[in-house]
Amino acid sequence: MKVLNSQIPMKTINVDIQHVLGSISRQDIETLEPKATESLDKVLNATGTGNDFLGWVNLPTETTEALLDDIIACADELRASCDTVVAIGIGGSYLGAKAVVEALNDSFAAYRPGVQGEPKLLFAGQNIGEDYMYELQDYLKDKRFGIIVISKSGTTTEPAIAFRLLKEQLESQLGLEEARKRIVAITDAKRGALRTLATEEGYKTFVIADNVGGRFSVLTPVGLLPIAVAGYDIRALIDGAAEMEKATSAPGENNPSYLYALTRNALYAAGKKIEILVNYNPKLHFFGEWWKQLYGESEGKDNKGIFPAAVDFSTDLHSMGQWIQEGERTIFETVISVAEQQHEKLIPSDEANLDGLNYIAGKHIDEVNKMAELGTRIAHVDGGVPNIHITLPALREKYLGQLIYFFEKACGISGYLLDVNPFNQPGVEAYKRNMFALLAKPGYEKETEAIKARL
Ligand code: PA5
């Protein structure tokens, strides 16, 4: 491999692996190329394990105008009839929408009075916090709110609890008929309690295809409807993803997903067991959360897998910086850098200069941030923490669409490089079984007895 960064001839995200070369050699990377090519082939031609969950691969180019029209019309109705919309869901039924909306939103959107036609998008069912639900319901008691309830299986406990409470509240605030018009369900076409409930109540519904797993579903109605309700351009998001779908369809260093998957696995083979996804923009915090689920659930199995962590710099340089610089040398970082900011803010000059900051007066805050980023990357490389560098042109729908698809494709390739099934998550069931046993769920009698004996 000659090229060290993917170079696609369009304005797009860019992946640069130069700064891993102090820790691993080109040879280490090249050795994995035949297997990476085979792994990409498994993703594209559905010949690997878990191949019944590859519906996301061609999703961007196959998303129909009719579906986008339907989602946008539904979002417009909710936006017209509600001042607040609560998206209920957990894991893959939550994190993608949350990541995109947070990346695009004004940082203080939650504290600004709602502008007409711009409902606040809140989230529920992503935890089992009693105070969270109390406070949410208290907030909603004088609001014209609507609900998007999302669960692929239609049986997940966290969102089911939140939906039961919010449905009851909406019905008591609006009456049964009106409430039904403000509830949209996104679930499996046929299976699950949510499908039964939605059919019984006559809710508007969208289907999550059988062959798209939860953590790969952000570009389906699961992510697209909440994102459209928040006022963002889902066509641009899909267009960006479609560009990336095309750019990642052949093996080689110009395929950014291939390059990233290959490099992180070469690092893993060299003993770098932890990957931290680093952002220098607070709006990307939840992108890190989405990425953690994507890679954690896809790769952490069979006693293998890079541990995915995420940090927000420079904030976390003042908490995690010491560990990263000098702790156990088992980590590498993947830095997401946003090239352009949406707004301008310069550092003012001050005649007294008591804080000693005049040496940066007149500079953009982002220039200081970029120097913090560069200085940190160099320090980390010097300290034995290699970094992969991803540049995102700006926080806009199109580039976020590219970034989402880039990571999804890389995740599929990477899982196959690791010889795991990237599309199942058997380990997630263990806590559920115990929780159901402890709560004495009907059908879990034996488990209840067994777990009680251990307490
Ligand atoms: O990736 C997955 O499949 C999971 O993390 C799910 O997204 C999560 O468990 C929520 O499941 P559901 O959408 O069925 O409620």
- pLDDT of 314: 95
Cβ-based burial of 436 (10 A; exposed 0-12, middle 13-18, buried ≥19):
middle
- Token duo for residue 131: 């105070």
**Residues 36-46: b if buried by 16+ CB within 10 A, e if exposed:** bbebbebbbee
Q: What is the dihedral of CA 293, 297, 303, 304, to 10 degrees?
A: -70
The answer to whether 159 and 183 have CB atoms below 8 angstroms apart is no
CA distance to 22, 126, 218, 302, 425, per residue, from 18 (Å): 9, 38, 31, 31, 33
- Token duo for residue 312: 């927000």
* Nearest CA among 424, 427, 421, 414 for reference residue 268: 414
If you take atom 15 of ligand 1, which residue's CA is the nearest one?
151
Length of the chain: 455
* Candidate from 150, 153, 207, 424 with most ligand 1 atoms within 8 A of CB, to mutate: 153
Handedness of CA 431, 101, 67, 167 (dihedral sign): positive
Residues in contact with ligand 1 by the CB-under-6-Å rule are: 90-93, 151-153, 156, 159, 213-215, 297, 425
The answer to whether 15 and 259 have CB atoms below 8 angstroms apart is yes
Compute the distance from residue 330 Cα to the ligand 1 centre, in Å: 30
Compute the distance from residue 94 Cα to the ligand 1 centre, in Å: 9
Contacts of residue 58, Cβ cutoff 8 Å, sequence gap at least 6: 245
Atom of ligand 1 nearest to the CA of 216: 1
* Candidate from 150, 152, 421 with most ligand 1 atoms within 8 A of CB, to mutate: 152
Which residue among 102, 243, 297, 299 is the active-site one? Answer: 297
The answer to whether 170 and 147 have CB atoms below 8 angstroms apart is yes
Compute the distance from residue 91 Cα to the ligand 1 centre, in Å: 5
* Nearest CA among 401, 409, 13 for reference residue 237: 401
The answer to whether 60 and 184 have CB atoms below 8 angstroms apart is no
Which residue among 11, 246, 304, 432 is the active-site one? Answer: 432
- pLDDT of 85: 97
- pLDDT of 112: 77
- Token duo for residue 382: 């010097």
Compute the distance from residue 226 Cα to the ligand 1 centre, in Å: 16
Summarize pLDDT for 229-270 with one digit per residue, the tens.
Answer: 999 999 999 999 999 999 999 999 899 999 999 999 999 999
Q: Whose structure tokens read 């878990």?
A: 50
The whole-angstrom separation of Cα 319 and Cα 322 is 7
Compute the distance from residue 160 Cα to the ligand 1 centre, in Å: 13
If you take atom 3 of ligand 1, which residue's CA is the nearest one?
214
**How does DSSP classify residue 386?**
-
**Residues 208-232: b if buried by 16+ CB within 10 A, e if exposed:** beebbbbbbbbbbbbbbbbbbbbbb
φ, ψ dihedrals at 308, nearest 5°: -90, 120
- pLDDT of 116: 53
The whole-angstrom separation of Cα 247 and Cα 306 is 25
Cβ-based burial of 365 (10 A; exposed 0-12, middle 13-18, buried ≥19):
middle
Compute the distance from residue 298 Cα to the ligand 1 centre, in Å: 12
If you take atom 2 of ligand 1, which residue's CA is the nearest one?
214
The answer to whether 299 and 341 have CB atoms below 8 angstroms apart is no
pLDDT tens, per residue, the chain with 455 residues: 444 555 444 488 999 999 999 899 999 999 999 999 999 999 999 999 999 999 999 999 999 999 999 999 999 999 999 999 999 999 999 999 999 999 999 998 888 766 555 789 999 999 999 999 999 999 999 999 999 999 999 989 999 999 999 999 999 999 999 999 999 999 999 999 999 999 999 999 999 999 999 999 999 999 999 999 999 999 999 999 999 999 999 999 899 999 999 999 999 999 999 999 999 999 999 999 999 999 999 999 999 999 999 999 999 999 999 999 999 999 999 999 999 999 999 999 999 999 999 999 999 999 999 999 999 999 999 999 999 999 999 999 999 999 999 999 999 999 999 999 999 999 988 899 999 999 999 999 999 999 999 99
Atom of ligand 1 nearest to the CA of 89: 15
- Token duo for residue 156: 């997940």
The whole-angstrom separation of Cα 249 and Cα 57 is 10
Atom of ligand 1 nearest to the CA of 192: 14
In the chain, what are the helix, strand and coil shares in percent, each to the nearest 5? 50, 15, 35
- pLDDT of 5: 53
Which residue among 65, 130, 177, 318 is the active-site one? Answer: 318
- Token duo for residue 373: 């980023």
Pairing state between β 84-88 and 204-207: unpaired
The verdict on whether 297 is a catalytic residue reads yes
Q: Three-state DSSP class for 274?
A: strand
Summarize pLDDT for 320-375 with one digit per residue, the tens.
Answer: 999 999 999 999 999 999 999 999 999 999 999 999 999 999 999 999 999 999 99
The whole-angstrom separation of Cα 190 and Cα 56 is 20
